[in-house]
Structure 1
Amino acid sequence: MAGRPAEPEVIWARPERSGRGPKPAFSRADIAAAACRIADEGGLDAVTMRHVAAELGCGTMSLYNYVPRKEDLYELMVDRVSGEYDLPEKPSGDWRADLTTLAHRARAIMQVHPWMARLMSAVYGFSPNTMRYIEYSLSCLDAIDAPYGEKMELVAMVNGVVTTYVANELQTAERTKSLPWSAEQEHAVRMAYLGREIASGRYPRLAAAFAEDSGPIDMEAVFDRALARVLDGFDSRRPGTSPRPETS
C-alpha cells in the first residue's frame, strides 16, 4: 500500500509526509485532531483511515502518505490527548500528592475521551507528549532513594489503577444506557436476589460484608483508596523504611 514502510519504524522519526509532491496539506496535529473527534463521537471502532480521510477532505490513499499504518494513527491520537495534561513547572515536593493529582487528572481526561482506556499501552507510551508526562512523573519522585526502574513501575501501576477504574466506569455506564429499564430498577432486583442468597447462610463472609454496608458506595473514596494502596506499597519497599502502622 502506498506510503507503507518496508520495515518497522517510529512515526516520530519519520518526516511529516513521505514521497514527492506539493507541500503537505495537513499536519500530524490536523490528522490527530480529526481522529480524536471521530473517536470522541463514535468510539475507537469508528476511527478508520477512510473515515479520517473523509473528515480531512482528502483521499484515503493520500492519508497513507502522512500516516503509514493505523497503529501510527493511534499513536498520534494518544500523543494529542496526552498533551492535555496541564503539568506544573515543577513538582510540589510531596510525591504522593503529586502522583495522586496526576491520577485524578488522568481519570478526568479518560472520561472525556473514553476510547483512551483501550489505547493505554506501552506500545504508545513514548511519543513526545507521553514522554513529557513520564518525565514529570519521575521528577515527582526525585527525593526518593530508589532505582529508576522501580519509579517507572510505580508510574505504570498508578496508570494501571486509573485505566482499570475508568474502563469499569465506562462499561457500567454503557451497559446502563442500553437497558430497557432504569439502573435503579436493576439494582433493586439484584440486591433482592443477593439478599435471599446471603440469608441462606451459605455465604457468611459476604453476609458480614453486607452487614457493614453503610449506604451507597462512594466511588471517589474507592478510587482514592486504590491509589493510596499502590503508593503505600511503593513506600514500604523503599530502603530504610517500614510499612505504615495500622490505624484503628
Structure 2
Amino acid sequence: MPGTGEAGAPGVDPERLWLRTDRPRKGRKPAHSRETITAAAVALADAEGLEAVTIRRVAAAVGAGAMSLYSYAPDKETLLELMVDHVTGELPTAHAPTGDWRADLKEIARLQRAHMLRHPWLPAALTVRRTPGPHTLAFLERALAVLRPTGLDGAAKLEVFAQLTAFVAGHVGHEIAQAAVSAAPERAAAELRYLTAVAGDGRHPELAEALAAPGRPLTPEATFTRFLDRLVDGLDSA
C-alpha cells in the first residue's frame, strides 16, 4: 500500500527520493515521468492553492489513474518535496559573489521574495521541514559562497541562510494576506477605525505613540527593504 496517502507520510527518505533516479521499468515505457507529474502539481498549486493538490487531482491533470502515480510520489508529503525543489530550480545559481556579502545576501532575499510571490503556496510549504533536493542544494551553495567573507563557521552560515529564508517566507505570507485585505476596502477601513479607537482609549499609550509617529513608505517593496536591511545589517554578531 503506497505511503499513507493524502494524510502524509511519517517522513520522506532523502536517499530514496533524491539519490535514486527514475529507472525505466522492464516492459512498456512509462507514460509519465516524475518531472511531468511534479510540473502538473505545481501548476495546480499556482492556480488553486496548496490545498487543491492531491494525488487524485494531479493524476487527473496528467490523464492518469491515481494508482499509477504512487510509484513516483507515494504520498502528498513526497509530492510537496518534489514541488518545492522543482520551483527552486527557477532561482539563478551561477552568479559569482561580488565580495560585498551584505549586498549579495540582500539580493538572494529579493530573489526569494520574487520567487515566492510567483508561487504563493511556497511560504506555507516551507513551514514544514523539507529535505533539500538538487536545485535547493545548488541555491544553498550560492548562499554559502556569499557568506564566506563573513568568517562565520559552517553551522552559523547555515543558520543565517535558514533565518533569511524564514524571514522572506514569513514576510511574503503576510504580504499576500495584506494584499487580500487591500482588495476589500471596507475591511481595511474597519481595521483602521478599530486601531484608531484602541489607540485613543487611554489604555494603550505605547501603541498611540507608535501610530502617531511619522509614516514611512508602505509599498510592499519599501517595507520589505526596510525589514531586510535591519536583518542583514545586524548579522555581524551572528
TM category, shorter: 0.7 to 0.9
Distance in 2 of aligned mates of 1:70 and 1:18: 23
Distance in 2 of aligned mates of 1:89 and 1:56: 35
Count of aligned pairs between the two proteins? 231
- Runs of 4+ aligned residues of structure 1 deviating over 6 Å after TM superposition are none
Q: What is the match of residue 47 of structure 1?
A: 53
Q: What is the match of residue 112 of structure 2?
A: 106
Distance in 2 of aligned mates of 1:44 and 1:37: 10
CA contact (8 A) 1:17 1:66 kept: no
Taking only the aligned residue pairs, the percentage that are identical comes to: 40
CA contact (8 A) 1:161 1:226 kept: no
Q: Which has the larger radius of gyration?
A: 1
Give the superposition deviation at 1:29.
1.3
SS of 1:146 mapped into structure 2: coil
Superposition map of 1:221-232 within 5 A? 221-232=222-233
Q: Which residue identity is paired with 1:34?
A: A
Q: Which residue identity is paired with 2:200?
A: A
CA contact (8 A) 2:102 2:233 kept: no
Q: What is the match of residue 149 of structure 2?
A: 143
Give the TM-score normalised by the residue count of structure 1: 0.83
Matched, 1:28 2:34: yes
Distance in 1 of aligned mates of 2:95 and 2:218: 36
Distance in 2 of aligned mates of 1:8 and 1:197: 48
* Bigger mean CA deviation after superposition, 61-70 or 119-128: 119-128
Give the superposition deviation at 1:112.
1.1
Gaps of 5+ in 2: none
Relative contact order (alpha carbons < 8 A, sep ≥ 6): 1 or 2 greater?
2
Q: What is the match of residue 200 of structure 2?
A: 199
Give the superposition deviation at 1:102.
1.1
Matched, 1:9 2:10: no
Gaps of 5+ in 1: 238-248
CA RMSD of aligned residues (A): 2.5
Q: Would the alpha carbon gap of residues 71 and 195 (structure 1) be closer, same or farther in structure 2, given more than 3 Å must change?
A: closer
Give the TM-score normalised by the residue count of structure 2: 0.86
Q: What is the match of residue 242 of structure 1?
A: none
Q: What is the match of residue 211 of structure 1?
A: 212
Matched, 1:87 2:93: yes
CA contact (8 A) 1:3 1:65 kept: no
Give the superposition deviation at 1:47.
0.8
Distance in 1 of aligned mates of 2:132 and 2:164: 17
* Bigger mean CA deviation after superposition, 207-216 or 12-21: 12-21
CA contact (8 A) 2:24 2:30 kept: no
Distance in 1 of aligned mates of 2:40 and 2:109: 26
Give the superposition deviation at 1:2.
5.1
